[in-house]
């Protein structure tokens, strides 16, 4: 089954990186670049120009889509382009449903939406509400091109069906990647593991460690292809922060994780771990929703 990949663009280097990631990662897919004219934000006319607002908006959108076509041409890829009007995130979400899109790749400016609102709060809204898997690319195109994708892939697992689906997605679509399955042990109290040694809490740490090792062992069983390179890593800490730190320190190229795991209270109070990682990570993050099959 051919995957239908949607790449929202806004003319920035980050949105170009989204195109680059999509073309490299899904060579057999069908691609569409979408530009949404945000009439609510762009409701002004430049002084001294004879153009109407509609003409100016359309010219800008067409230029951006032409640039996207040039990126596709350089990559030897066929690209369809779509120009829409409306609220960007709502329009993108509607397009995903109407056109049966399988996956979305978006450039993002991380936690700096003031720089360019389209790829700040819009990407976050799509991540939260899209019904399909989503990749957020937080780095400019020049930085992304230095990566040898799929490269080193960090796959956080927590024993949930969704995290195992993300692992199956990653190893099936990117068999040439080098994978690290990562599980974070979170204490129900605020302390360091070393401070517990020799205390009455030590058996609890041992139990949590054994559970974590079991989660990693079960995850290894999901990897059907024995030729896939897989390592495991177990650490103590707050999940989102630990994932971000490991990804940066160990020089990973991308993160692939389930969109929701076990931490329902975390989602209700501070947002899901996956959403937090997608906002803060400095490398591409793919959030996988639902079960994955090889026909996806």
pLDDT in tens, 189-230: 566 656 666 665 667 778 888 999 999 999 999 897 889 999
Q: Which residue has the higher pLDDT, 151 or 120?
A: 151
Local structure of 134: helix, strand or coil: strand
Residue 181 has pLDDT above 90, yes or no: yes
Query: Would you state the pLDDT for residue 118?
Result: 46
Closest CA to 105 of 254, 235, 240: 254
> How confident is the prediction for the chain on average, in pLDDT?
85
Residue 276 has pLDDT above 50, yes or no: yes
Residue 27 has pLDDT above 70, yes or no: yes
State the DSSP H helix or E strand holding residue 247, giving kind and residue range, or none if neither: helix 239-249
Global pTM?
A: 0.87
- d(CA 149, CA 17) in angstroms, rounded, equals 13
The DSSP secondary structure of 151-175, one letter per residue, reads -EEEEE--SSHHHHHHHHHHHHH-T
Angle at 51 between CA 46 and CA 53, to 5 degrees: 70
Bridge-partner residues for 30, per DSSP?
4
Query: Would you state the pLDDT for residue 184?
Result: 92
Q: 153: which 2 tokens?
A: 């892939």
- d(CA 24, CA 74) in angstroms, rounded, equals 12
Cβ pair 34, 6 in contact under 8 A = yes
pLDDT > 90: percent of the chain: 60
Q: Which residue has the higher pLDDT, 2 or 88?
A: 88
State mean pLDDT over 76-100.
95
Residue 177 has pLDDT above 70, yes or no: yes
- d(CA 37, CA 55) in angstroms, rounded, equals 11
- d(CA 151, CA 291) in angstroms, rounded, equals 24
- d(CA 77, CA 1) in angstroms, rounded, equals 18
Local structure of 42: helix, strand or coil: coil
Structural domains of the chain in order of their starting residue, each with its CATH number: 4-144 (3.40.50.620), 152-288 (3.40.50.620)
Q: How confident is the model at residue 267 (pLDDT cuts 50, 70, 90)?
A: very low
Q: What is the DSSP letter of 26?
A: -
Q: Tokens 């790829």 label which residue? A: 119
Neighbours of 85 (CB within 10 A): 13
CA terminus-to-terminus distance, the chain: 7
Beta strands across the sheet bearing 178-185: 79-85, 30-37, 4-8, 103-107, 133-137, 285-288, 254-258, 152-156, 178-185, 229-236
Strands 133-137 and 103-107: parallel
Query: Would you state the pLDDT for residue 266?
Result: 41
């Amino acid at each position: 089954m051919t995957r239908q990949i949607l790449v929202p663009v806004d003319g920035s280097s980050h949105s170009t990186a989204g195109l680059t990631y999509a073309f490299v990662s899904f060579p057999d897919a069908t691609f569409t670049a979408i530009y949404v004219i945000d009439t609510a934000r762009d409701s002004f006319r430049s002084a001294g120009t004879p153009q109407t607002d509609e003409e100016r908006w359309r010219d800008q959108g067409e230029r951006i889509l032409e640039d996207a076509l040039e990126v596709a041409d350089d990559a030897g890829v066929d690209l369809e382009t779509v120009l829409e009007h409306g609220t960007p995130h709502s329009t993108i979400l509607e397009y995903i449903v109407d056109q049966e899109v399988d996956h979305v790749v978006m450039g993002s400016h991380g936690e700096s939406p003031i720089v360019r609102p389209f790829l700040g709060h819009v990407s976050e809204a799509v991540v939260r509400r899209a019904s399909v898997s989503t990749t957020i690319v937080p780095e400019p195109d020049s930085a992304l091109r230095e990566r040898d994708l799929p490269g080193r892939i960090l796959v956080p697992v927590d024993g949930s069906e969704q995290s195992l689906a993300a692992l199956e997605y990653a190893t099936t679509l990117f068999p040439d990647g080098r994978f690290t399955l990562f599980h974070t042990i979170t204490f129900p109290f605020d302390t360091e593991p070393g401070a517990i040694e020799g205390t009455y809490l030590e058996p609890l740490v041992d139990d949590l460690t054994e559970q974590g090792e079991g989660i990693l062992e079960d995850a290894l069983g999901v990897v059907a292809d024995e030729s896939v390179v897989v390592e495991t890593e177990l650490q103590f800490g707050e999940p989102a922060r630990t994932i971000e730190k490991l990804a940066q320190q160990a020089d990973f190229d991308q993160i692939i994780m389930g969109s929701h795991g076990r931490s329902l209270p975390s989602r209700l109070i501070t947002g899901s771990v996956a959403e937090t990682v997608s906002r803060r990570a400095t490398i591409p993050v793919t959030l996988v929703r639902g079960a994955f099959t090889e026909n996806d």
